[in-house]
A and B are shown apart, each in its own frame.
Chain A
């Protein structure tokens, strides 16, 4: 007999408490999603990366080809004529180059035909 039996009578808890706890623990034991679904975010990420790569690759290849073509054209333009530079009836004027190992000359023909300006 408790001392405060009359003031604090013993109450019965509402039923179902243990079942609720068992249910909660079971729910915690189960994986939240089936295992197959766990791979879904990774697979989606991989697919997205692949699509991005596919979208980016043609543009990159085209840009690379354009750069190569431009470089080829520039090389052709800068290449000396076959047989080297020949000055016939010409005069050369030395121009300041700004670099010690570079000489710049303005070459002009003094007679008609075969005008060339070359460095």
Chain B
């Protein structure tokens, strides 16, 4: 049985890493906030069956599933996030805007499984086996996915591969 204070503690722990991972998938701050909020609410609704020991992993899985659903919905309705345009209008430099756009394009070109592994490895603080459990993939593939994703990302962005 999940306690309310344990849920809030999990929120404090995970809000920042969740936001960073989700932002690189949704590229829209409000969507990220909504997904994080909805993920915690969904977990709370199932609190009778939630083990606090696996709470963080459950939140990660729920949030990533919700983000995927949102991306599917966007593709269905051909919606595009507005954050890039907003950032430009608010006076962000052209260089920042273009760099963000290139990064976004590069991340989009990565296979979804590799992108998820890369982002979780960068921001979540989870170990390889935990990332594998959250994404439902074999533990052995996490390290190789991460390695290939980093190489491809750097190549797509024109970065030195061994940097």
| A13 contacts B by Cβ under 8 Å | yes
CB-CB < 8 A to B23: which residues of A?
A: 11
**Bound: A14/B16 CA distance, A:** 9
| A21 contacts B by Cβ under 8 Å | yes
Question: Chain A: how many interface residues by the 8 Å CB criterion?
Answer: 18
CB contacts under 8 Å to A, within B1-52, are 4, 7-8, 11-12, 15-16, 18-20, 23-24, 29, 32-33, 36-37, 40-41, 44
Q: Is B20 within 8 A of A21, CB to CB?
A: no
Known contacts A11-B20, A11-B23: A21-B41 contact under CB 8 Å: yes
A–B complex contacts, Cβ < 8 Å, 14 sampled: A4-B118, A4-B150, A7-B103, A8-B103, A13-B32, A13-B36, A17-B33, A17-B37, A20-B33, A20-B37, A21-B40, A21-B41, A24-B41, A25-B7
Residues of A within 8 A of B (CB): 2-4, 7-8, 10-14, 17-18, 20-22, 24-25, 28
Top 9 A-B pairs ranked by shortest CB distance? Answer: A13-B19, A21-B40, A13-B15, A18-B11, A11-B20, A4-B122, A2-B122, A17-B15, A24-B41
Given A7-B157, A28-B44: 19 more A-B contacts, CB < 8 Å = A4-B122, A7-B154, A8-B119, A8-B122, A10-B20, A11-B23, A12-B16, A12-B19, A13-B15, A13-B32, A17-B15, A17-B33, A17-B37, A18-B15, A21-B7, A21-B8, A21-B37, A21-B40, A28-B41
